[in-house]
Amino acid sequence: MVTGSVGECSINEEGSIGMFSFAAGLLSVLLGAPLTTGPDFAREVRPVLERSCFPCHGPERQKSGYRLDVRAIALKGGDSGNAAIIPHDAQNSPLFRYVSGDDPDMQMPPEDSKTPPLSEREITQLRAWIDAGPSWPDELAGTVAEEAPHWSLQPLVSPAIPGQETNPIDGFIQAKLAEDGLAPSPEATRRTLIQRVHFDITGLPPSPEEVETFCSDPDPAAYEKLVDRLLASPRYGERWARHWFDTIQFADTHGYEHDIIRANAWPYRDYVIQAFNEDKAWARFIREQLATDYFYPDQPEMTPALGYLGAGPFDLSTYLTAGVTFDYLSRDTLVTQTMSSFVSTTANCARCHNHKFDPIPQTDYYALQAVFSGVIKGDLAYDGVLAVKEERGRWQALRAAAIAKDRDALLTPDNEARIRDWLTARGAGATWTPLDVETFQSTDGATHTRNADGIIESGGARPDKATYTVTGTTRLPEITALRLNVYTVDRLPEKGPGRHDNGNFHLSEITLRVFEPGELNPLELTFTRATADFNQKDWGIEKAIDGNAGSAWGIHPAVGMPHHAVFELAEPLVIKPGARLAIALRQVHGGGHLIGAYSLAVTGDPTAQVAALPTTVETALEIPDTALTEIQRVERAASIIHLVAVDGLAALPPLSQIYTSAASVRIPDAGKAPKLASIKTPKPVHRLERGNFNTPAELIEPGALSAIGALPARFSLANPQNEAERRAALADWIASPENVLTWRSIVNRVWHYHFGRGLCNTPSDLGKMGGTPSHPELVDWLAVWFRDEAKGSLKALHRLILTSETFRQSSQYREDGATRDGENRLLWRQNRHRLDADAYRDYTNAVTGQLDLTMGGPGVAHFTQGPGAQLTPTLDYNAYDWDGEGAGRRSIYRIVWRGIADPFMEALDFPDLGLLSPQRGFSASSLQALTLYNNNFVLHRSKNLAERLAAKSSDLNTQIAQATGLLWYREPNNKEQDAFREFTGKNGLAALCRVLLNSNEYLFVD
């Protein structure tokens, strides 16, 4: 802020009055440089502004955060983030453009406002004023009262605990209640407490036996023991993972137009459940989810944590056709999710302009985008076992060294030993037996002839593309590999071996099929490896067996000489007498890239002996080690080590996959092979004027929010091109003990789930537009305690809350409380909870004896699936068989289809995961009633429950008592007993179960 004593201030081209420009202005005065003079501000400019602009941009109102009564803001501009006045350049100053009518999209004052517009003369004056400086005297500069930071941004200090309560929580809560003349409610009964705490911690009901045991436990610490037991149960992680998934909109499918399954999303779900169950420290949880690859490379088993970065939606269609739009929107979901879930900040509000309410400049938002500009959503392949990861790394390095013919890396004692072993296994090499050819033909009009040496030649008119098919037999009892020889012939261009004008050919794919004797349908065999004596650059022999007809093997420029290639079978093929082999050589590159002359041979020798080697290496094999030249030694090592490394890699267990955002991923694309997407170095991110992709402004470096004073807003990175470092820097920024938002956010979020609302009732927005905290001191005390004392242990935080008197209060209505604090913000009672969608399903499976506690693994489909119009399938939730496998699994394990929600779950307010969902709604509509009453799940489970009751006792009274015991944890009273008897007599026990499963006493937890 400018508070200098110089009479006038000149402004730099950014329109911001920084120290530098200020000094420069001062300098120009001191040096006596001529100062241009324009209209007088006080006399000629300010009155006009006052009349025409102040009504909306003055002391009373600041629309779009802009005001013309304060110099700094008048120059710097409002929420748009753009300078409003550009010195010496009225024509490009938005202020001038708006009032002069030069901007077609913005006219000030607005046409329909009552404020008089500027006259022609006044417009001319304004222009002259800006062009001449502008000069704006200090005495009229105006000031803005320095506002105290918003509560959530204030330094985090632990306040004194009021009162003498054992549990500090009760001290804070009861002190505030006392101020309002309210007393807390008495402790709930044990019967209520066990139900409440089961629901809260595990999302599953206690059994009637557990209830009775707890109620009759004489131990005064029975409740604390119960809490500890439940927190130690794996059911806890299953329950609380769901809360986190709502918060970050984690689902199993893309959403949008192509709403297809992400087959590799579920390991993240299991990771989160495990993280909660293991009570992972919060800072560590943050770091693992954002950048475990960077922080903990020696624990690759943690890689599924990165699933956090793949939680949100993905628009495949926009990705494929509108790359620029995609990049910005895709990163936007990551920025929004990260800031919302970890620091409860609505950074995305600053996409188009500076945040209107919170101190978040637009540049902060784009700095966060830059954090994620090196990643894209998709499947990341990884090794989950360190030893395998390291071994893969070693083989990959060797393979790379072989390709690069890196002398130093190749000629090591280890490799010499590998080469010796390899040569021993190879021995004299394989013996090849020519195929006994029966038929041979070419498509597309070329002639095919076979000469006396058994060489097949292609002649006649040269087609563009062709496929050669050869059938034959062999007397070998089994074969392990196939060999293709190609020959030079004088009549071919450049003597061949190809028919293309330059002597080359392109073998797109080679296939081998076997017709067992008497069989009409052949068996197609798989080649595991192909080797050749020569490979054209980028046209290697492996392309002939990659299943992709778009790539091929070629030999240019080594034309005019014969070549050969060897194709190894996955397993030896036993040749039954009469079996026929059919070999197809697809050559579909076009342009007449066809083989001119060739023959085929087979061998039954072990595959260790068969590989084709470059001619130079073949020659080198004949020479004793000591007589080899250095070049020969390197060539030999390169060929052999390459083969050994490829074998080594093939022998490793397959890579695991996790759906995340990473620099190099495969994008699930329904039935087709997933597409590989790579971002070599992070893409440059620009601030976008008004958030518009078409108007990029300055380049922005990676960083986070500038509002946390104690932490630098822009990262200093050792290697800014390493995208992982960017994510790690953000993780460090979030997880820092200095980040006051992080610690307030998590304790408030946890509180929200224990009481049904947070101390601040907007758990993902602690900013000015969020809720006002009812007990800000308690938030702060909890935040500091959680960070420093509990060391980020969620279970410690749960235990503290759950054992407080505040939590244990009765939820019963009290006239005095309702009168003074109807919304129960002060917590004079506990809040009653309705079973959420997941809990309703899990409870109902549990009480009807259908609960299946299998943990982990791929998601369970609670629907039947059919083909859709394009990639998105059709789902039928009503057709699902509730006796089917996985029908009793906990809801956390069901497949959540982002765009095709389960109508049953929706009816109970399961959120739309197109959006982050930090809170669940509550509704009670007729459609919900119809769903609960008629949906097949409830009907089926009613039947299950009736059967279960009938199996235990044939006495109706007992059955009824057991039903209410399971669902209501109590005996029916006489009136109920009579009514239920009568109803059951007419309609059956299952019909009664259906009614009870719809009852409020079942749906609500006191």
Partner 1 sequence: MKTQKTTAFDRRNFLMNIGGGFAGLALAQMLTEDAAAKVPFHHPPRVHRVIQLFMTGGASPMDLFDYKPELERLDGQMLGPKEKPDGFTAPAGALMQSPFAFKQHGESGRWVSEMFPEQAKLVDEMAFLMAMTTKTNVHGPGTYMMNSGFLLPGFPCMGSWISHALGNIADNLPSFVVLPDAKGLPYNQKGCFSSGFLPVVHQGTVINAAAEQPVPDLFPGKTHAFANRDSDPAGLALLDTINRVHAATHPGDSRLDARISSYELAAKMQLAAPEAFDVMREPDYVRRAYGMEEKHTEDFGRRCLLATRLIERGVRFVQVWSGPQGAVGNWDNHASITKELPPMAASVDKPIATMLRDLKSRGLDEDTLVIWTTEFGRTPFAQAGTGRDHNGGTFVSWLWGAGVRSGVAHGQSDDWGYKAEVDKTYCYDLHATVLHLLGIDHQRLTVRRDGIDRRLTDVHGNVIKEILA
Residues 820-879 that bind partner 1 (CB under 8 A): 822-825, 831-832, 834, 868-870, 872, 874, 878
Report the residue number, 332 or 725, with the smaller CB distance to partner 1: 332
Q: Does a cis peptide bond (omega within 30 degrees of 0) precede residue 134?
A: yes
Judged by DSSP in three states, 955 sits in coil
Query: Considering only residues 723-762, where is the footprint of partner 1 by CB under 8 A?
Result: 756-757, 761-762
Instruction: Name the nearest CA neighbour of 700 among 682, 719, 727, 724.
Output: 682
- Nearest to partner 1 of 742, 931 (CB atom): 931
CB atoms within 10 A of CB 154: 13
| 683: contact with partner 1 by CB under 8 A | no
Query: With binding defined as CB under 8 A, does residue 912 bind partner 1?
Result: yes
Those residues with Cβ within 8 angstroms of residue 737's Cβ, 6 or more apart along the chain or in another chain: 743, 787, 788
Would you say 246 and 308 are in contact if contact means Cβ atoms under 8 Å apart? no
With respect to partner 1, which residue has the nearer C-beta, 591 or 921?
921
Residue 979 binds partner 1 (CB under 8 A): yes
Instruction: Identify the three-state secondary structure at position 117.
Output: coil
Out of 315, 836, 838, 842, name the contact with partner 1 by CB under 8 A.
315
**DSSP characters for 772-788?**
PPS-HHHHHHHHHIIII
Q: State the nearest-atom distance from the C-beta of 54 to partner 1, in Å.
A: 16
How many C-beta atoms lie closer than 10 Å to residue 756's C-beta? 18
Place of tokens 């006399």: 43
456 vs 101: CA distance, rounded Å: 82
Question: For partner 1, which stretch binds (CB under 8 A), given 276-284, 800-808, 838-846, 908-916?
Answer: 908-916
Report if residue 81 touches partner 1, rule: CB under 8 A.
Answer: no
Does 987 bind partner 1 (CB under 8 A)? Our answer is: yes
Does 670 participate in binding partner 1 (rule CB under 8 A)?
no
**Interacting span for partner 1 (CB under 8 A) from 22-30, 344-352, 387-395, 513-521:** 344-352
Residues numbered 767 to 796 that lie near partner 1 (CB under 8 A) are 767-770
Give the residue among 832, 754, 971 at the shortest CA–CA distance from 212.
971
Q: Is 99 in the site for partner 1 (CB under 8 A)?
A: no
Integer CA distances (angstroms), 178 to 162, 175, 826, in order: 11, 5, 10
Residue 923, judged by CB atoms within 10 A of its CB (0-12, 13-18, 19+), counts as exposed
CB 990 to partner 1: min, Å: 4
CB atoms within 10 A of CB 647: 16
Residue 606's nearest CA partner among 478, 417, 474 is 478
Q: Token digits for 813? A: 């209505």
Residue type for position 1004: F
Q: Given candidates 678, 934, 957, 958, which one binds partner 1 under the rule CB under 8 A? A: 934
Distance CA 82, CA 86 (A): 10
**One of 35, 72, 178, 329 touching partner 1 (CB under 8 A):** 329
Number of residues that bind partner 1 (CB under 8 A): 104
Residue of 100, 303, 340, 845 interacting with partner 1 (CB under 8 A):
340
- Nearest to partner 1 of 152, 657 (CB atom): 152
Q: Which of 91, 143, 923, 953 binds partner 1 (CB under 8 A)?
A: 923
618: contact with partner 1 by CB under 8 A: no
Under a CB-based contact definition with an 8 Å cutoff, are residues 42 and 137 in contact? yes
Element (H, E) at 910: none
The window from 164-172, 425-433, 650-658, 811-819 that contacts partner 1 (CB under 8 A) reads 811-819
**The one segment of 253-261, 633-641, 667-675, 746-754 that binds partner 1 by CB under 8 A:** 253-261
Q: Answer yes or no whether residue 527 interacts with partner 1 by CB under 8 A.
A: no
Query: Which residue from 83, 309, 349, 663 is in contact with partner 1, where contact means CB under 8 A?
Result: 349
Q: Indicate whether 681 belongs to the interface with partner 1 (CB under 8 A).
A: no
Partners of residue 479 on adjacent β-strands: 573
Decide if residue 369 touches partner 1 (CB under 8 A).
no
- Which two three-digit tokens encode residue 378? 């998709």
Report yes or no: 374 and 681 within 8 Å, Cβ to Cβ: yes
Q: Are 658 and 311 spatial neighbours (Cβ–Cβ below 8 Å)?
A: no
Among 104, 323, 517, 577, binds partner 1 (CB under 8 A): 323
Choice between 527 and 882, CB closer to partner 1: 882
CA distance 685 to 366: 7
Quick check: 115 binds partner 1 (CB under 8 A)?
no
Residue from 207, 213, 317, 615 in contact with partner 1 (CB under 8 A) = 317
The first and second tokens of residue 863, run together, are 């629907």
Put the strands of the sheet holding 466-473 in their side by side order.
Answer: 436-442, 466-473, 580-587, 509-515, 523-524
Shortest distance (Å) from residue 314 CB to partner 1: 10
**Interacting residues with partner 1 between 168 and 227 (CB under 8 A):** none
Which of 346, 656, 809, 845 binds partner 1 (CB under 8 A)? It is 346
C-beta closer to partner 1: residue 278 or 816: 816
SS (H, E, C) 430-465: CCCEECEEEEEEECCCCEEEECCCCCEEEECCCCCC
Pick the closer one to partner 1 by CB: 787 or 898: 898
Site for partner 1 in 877-896 (CB under 8 A): 878
Residue showing tokens 């004692």: 413
CA gap 231, 855 in Å, rounded: 17
Residues 6+ apart with CB under 8 A from 325: 318, 693
Please report, in angstroms and rounded to a whole number, the separation of the first and last CA atoms in the chain. Answer: 55
**Single residue of 281, 455, 939, 956 touching partner 1 by CB under 8 A:** 939
Q: Which of 259, 279, 723, 725 binds partner 1 (CB under 8 A)?
A: 259
Query: Of the candidates 324, 403, 417, 623, which one interacts with partner 1 according to CB under 8 A?
Result: 324
Alpha carbons 354 and 347: distance in angstroms, whole number: 10
Cα R_g (the chain), whole angstroms: 37
Strand partners, 513: 524, 582
Q: Does 988 bind partner 1 (CB under 8 A)?
A: yes
Quickly count: other Cβ atoms within 10 Å of residue 125's Cβ.
Answer: 18
Shortest CB 947 distance to partner 1, Å: 12
Q: Among the candidate windows 183-191, 292-300, 492-500, 929-937, which touches partner 1 by CB under 8 A?
A: 929-937
- Interstrand relation of 864-866 and 874-876 (parallel, antiparallel or unpaired): antiparallel
**What are phi and psi for residue 1001, nearest 5 degrees?**
-65, -30
Q: Least distance to partner 1 from the beta carbon of 101, Å?
A: 18
Of 650, 673, 566, 553, nearest to 609 by C-alpha is 566
Identify which of residues 124 and 936 has a Cβ nearer to partner 1 in the complex.
936
Interaction residues for partner 1, span 688-717 (CB under 8 A): 693
160-168, 188-196, 550-558, 973-981 -> range binding partner 1 (CB under 8 A): 973-981
CB of 951 to partner 1, least distance (A): 17
Residues within window 940-969 making contact with partner 1, judged by CB under 8 A: 940, 942-943, 946
Interacting positions 450-509 with partner 1 (CB under 8 A): none
Least distance between partner 1 and beta carbon 972 (Å)? 10
Stretch of 2-10, 695-703, 883-891, 904-912 lying at the interface with partner 1 (CB under 8 A): 904-912
Determine the interface stretch with partner 1 among 26-34, 267-275, 883-891, 920-928 (rule: CB under 8 A).
920-928
When asked if residue 1001 is in the footprint of partner 1 (CB under 8 A), the reply is yes
Nearest alpha-carbon partner for 193 in 165, 174, 215, 220? 215
> Is residue 20 within the footprint of partner 1 (CB under 8 A)?
no
Q: Is residue 357 within the footprint of partner 1 (CB under 8 A)?
A: yes
Residues 562-601 as x/- pattern, contact with partner 1 by CB under 8 A: ----------------------------------------
Contact 617, 639 (CB under 8 A): yes
Q: Does 396 bind partner 1 (CB under 8 A)?
A: no
